[in-house]
Amino acid sequence: MNDTPSEFNIPLVEVIDYVEMGRIVAGWAKDPSTRPETVADFKAQVDGVAVVPDRIKGVMFVQSSMETLVLRLPEENMMQMAEDFFGAAENSEQYHAPSFYRDQYEQGSGAELSKLEFLYARVGDYTIAQCR
């Protein structure tokens, strides 16, 4: 399930079900009172949907408004690691995107998602992505 190259040595949050992750994120976006306040709460809410590594010590939510664009920047070490890995001439490994993208655009390649499920999967992916 993990689409992260083995050469990455920083444990990443591993999303198991992107559609369900997106549904959870959509709930947090629409009702801030449902957002977890601790890592333990976060892990409980995504249990069975994502695996959260022990390196995660806090959670923070940033939500844009109609007037403000929030640019979510990757953590600097993860960005450098990804650039080094994917920029290496000897690296023949392809960039791995979650399989739901292929499933959406290549008929017969996997599970077919409804438009709403694809929306949720995209939201789940871009909200939790970590330079992989």
pTM: 0.82
Predicted local confidence at residue 2, as pLDDT:
43
Read off φ and ψ for residue 79, nearest 5 degrees.
Answer: -65, -45
Measured CA to CA, the distance from residue 132 to residue 120 in angstroms comes to: 19
The tens place of each residue's pLDDT in the chain, 132 residues long, gives: 444 444 567 888 999 999 999 999 999 999 999 999 999 999 999 999 999 999 999 999 999 999 999 998 999 988 998 888 888 877 766 777 888 888 787 776 667 889 999 999 999 999 988 776
CA angle 47, 49, 52 (to 5 degrees): 65
Read off φ and ψ for residue 14, nearest 5 degrees.
Answer: -105, 115
Measured CA to CA, the distance from residue 22 to residue 121 in angstroms comes to: 5
Predicted local confidence at residue 7, as pLDDT:
55
Q: Where are the domains of the chain?
A: 14-128
